[in-house]
Structures are given as C-alpha cells and as structure tokens.
Amino acid sequence: MAEMSRDELESALQKYVGQEIGKPWVAKDPVNVAMIRHFCAAVGDTNPVYLDAAAGERSVHGALVAPPTMMDAWTMPGMGAAWVHSEGEPQDRQVELHRLLSENGYTGVVATNQEQEYERYLRPGDRLTAHIVFDAISEQKATPLGIGYFITTKYTFLDQNQERVGSMSFRVLKYKPAQQTQPVAEDGKPAAPSKPRRIRPPMGHDNAWWWNAVKEGELRIQRCASCGTLRHPPRPMCSVCRSVEWDSIVSSGKGTLHSHTVLHHPKFPGFDYPVICALVDLEEGTRIVSNIIDCTPEELKIDMPLTLTFEKVDDEMILPLFRPAK
Ligand SMILES: [Zn+2]
C-alpha cells in the first residue's frame, strides 16, 4: 500500500479525536480481596486498609478498600483480548489507528505517560466499566526514537451504578524508527555504516562520578560515610541514617542472577536482540540492573554466578555488563 502524504495522514488521524476507541471495557470480575492481596504483594504495599478487613473497618473508609492505583487493572482485557482478538473488528478503532500509522512507516510504539484521578475508593463488589476515547493526537514530533505522533486516550471509569469513580489519561508515541544515515567514504562510495548509538543514560550531579568510574573500568558502590550502608543507584542521602556524607568502594564484580526479563520488542537502535535485562546481586550486598551477554535466554538460571565485564557498546559508551562466570 502506498504511503499517504503527511497532510493526508494528519487529516486522517485527526478524524479519530473525540471518538470512542470501541466498545467499553467491562471488568471481567468485580473488585475482589484476592486480586487486591496479589497486587499489594507484587508492589510491596502493606497498608492494612487494603489487606485486613478489621483494620479497614476501623479506618475512615469503614471497610477494606482497594488501592486506588489498581483502578485500570480491574478492566484490563489482557494483551490478547485487547490487541490480537480484536484485529479486523472494525469497531476497534485503536487497532485501526495503529495499523494506519504502521502502514505509513510509523511502526514503533512506546508508552510515555499515564495519569490517573480518583473520585472515590473502590471496595470489593464494585464492578467497573471503562469508556475510552481518543483525547488528542499531536502534530508530528521529532523524538530521540524517531519522528512520530503522540496519541492520548482518556479512560473514564464508571461503577455498577454508572457513577464516575475515576479517570485516566494514557499516552503512547507511535514513531518511525530513526534510520541510520549511510556514511560516505572519501572516494564517494558508501562506507560501512557505524553501529547506531544507544539512548544515553541520564547523567547529572548525583551520578556523574559513578559513570566516570565506569569509564576508568571500575564498578563503584556508594557507601554512607556515617553508618557504612552501601547503596545503588547513586543518590544524595542515606536511607538508613539520612546522612549526606558518602564515599564509595570498588565492587569485586562478582554477583549472582537475582531476576531477569528478556526483551524482544520494541526494538530500539543500538541493541542486539533479544536483550537479557537482569537484576544482579553483587557480592557486596547491593543490586544493579544490567544486561547479560555471552548467554542465551535458555541458559539463564536464578542465582547463577555472574562476572562483571566492561563493554564498549557503541562508538563511545562503555557499560558495566555481566556474563556467566566460568
Ligand atoms: Zn547512613
């Protein structure tokens, strides 16, 4: 299919604004104690008004309530239900809109913002419905990922009495992955393309020292100068004694695999996929997020011993990565 001109595409996009994306999402289950308990366990929330019926009764709520941040979880249809099964159904305009952009080269998608507003606490037995509308589609924007359009959807959550309990604004960027321009050698022929650069990590006053040490081939761990507690990533204050005095030690580079996830999509420039993203327990007692190299996803085992290695991942950036220990 031929790509549309930018004007044609943008006028097609604007027709979606104000429309419902499709049928409202009706919660498959009412708000319930079991899911609240799982959610609290997953995020480490121990507030008794979410977990203990007696504590809920004694509280200002007069009963056990759900964490407000679970609001959108109650109506989520699941990955398959939202995207795959609705493929081809004309009433799902979200699928249609994303397909239109993909066909015009905007194949990448990344979620960028989520804001929620709550009108009341939810209680077990509440049954939610989400009405979802395309709230805004931006003009074409240039971003580090490539040019693209920000799509904002507005969710309005109603309870079983059709009363509003909250709302959510959810924004994604649908983008055309940035192309590497082909370098030209002195003889005018195309030279070998250089490897795309990775997105730069945020670097500032509180962590520049750590990255400078990485450049020198050292993995440093910040240490509280008052109580000796180690901490990572770098930050200004000790969470144990609140001292702002600190120094650092050099890690031995020995660690074990605490947890991991394997990234396949979306594909960002500068990475070799699949990417193994790992949480590594360093033997000094702190944890670090890194990638594991020289290892297939099938070879990963929780608690496997890992060794630090410094790798030049593009023309200038050096990262502390890990590989299985021999
Ligand atoms: Zn301290």
Residue 110 pairs with which residues in a beta bridge?
A: 173
> Which string of DSSP letters, residue by residue, matches 224-288?
ETTT--EESS--SS-TTT----EEEEE--SEEEEEEEEEE-SS--TT-PSSEEEEEEEETTS-EE
Q: Which residues of 108-145 are buried (b: 16+ CB within 10 A; e: fewer)?
A: bbeeeeeeeeeeebbbbebbbbbbbebeebeeeeeeeb
Residue range 176-196: mean pLDDT, rounded: 63
16 CA to centre of ligand 1 in angstroms: 54
225 CA to centre of ligand 1 in angstroms: 7
Residue range 234-254: mean pLDDT, rounded: 96
Residue 211 pairs with which residues in a beta bridge?
A: none
pLDDT band with cut points at 50, 70 and 90 for residue 5: very high
Q: How far is Cα 184 from Cα 190, in angstroms, rounded to an integer?
A: 4
Tokens found for residue 64: 């056990």
40 CA to centre of ligand 1 in angstroms: 28
Closest to 137 measured CA to CA, from 179, 103, 106: 106
239 CA to centre of ligand 1 in angstroms: 7
Helix (H, G, I), strand (E, B) or coil at 48: helix
284 CA to centre of ligand 1 in angstroms: 16
Is residue 35 scored above 70 in pLDDT? yes
234 CA to centre of ligand 1 in angstroms: 13
Helix (H, G, I), strand (E, B) or coil at 75: helix
- The mean of the pLDDT values for the chain is 90
pLDDT band with cut points at 50, 70 and 90 for residue 84: very low
pLDDT for res 237? 96
pLDDT for res 189? 63
pLDDT for res 90? 47
Tracing tokens 């709520």 back to the chain, one arrives at 61
313 CA to centre of ligand 1 in angstroms: 34
245 CA to centre of ligand 1 in angstroms: 8
Q: How far is Cα 183 from Cα 192, in angstroms, rounded to an integer?
A: 7
Q: List, in order, residues 6 or more apart from 102 with CB less than 8 Å away.
A: 174
pLDDT band with cut points at 50, 70 and 90 for residue 297: very high
Is residue 88 scored above 60 in pLDDT? no
Residue range 222-229: mean pLDDT, rounded: 98
Helix (H, G, I), strand (E, B) or coil at 83: helix
Is residue 181 scored above 60 in pLDDT? no
Residue range 260-264: mean pLDDT, rounded: 94
Statement: the pTM of the whole predicted model exceeds 0.85: no
47 CA to centre of ligand 1 in angstroms: 26
Percent of the chain with pLDDT over 90: 72
Domains, the chain, ordered by start: 7-31+72-175 (3.10.129.10), 208-324 (no CATH)
201 CA to centre of ligand 1 in angstroms: 26
290 CA to centre of ligand 1 in angstroms: 25
Per-range mean pLDDT, top range of 62-66, 85-89, 263-267: 62-66
pLDDT band with cut points at 50, 70 and 90 for residue 200: confident
244 CA to centre of ligand 1 in angstroms: 8
pLDDT band with cut points at 50, 70 and 90 for residue 190: low
Q: How far is Cα 279 from Cα 294, in angstroms, rounded to an integer?
A: 16
pLDDT for res 86? 47
230 CA to centre of ligand 1 in angstroms: 8
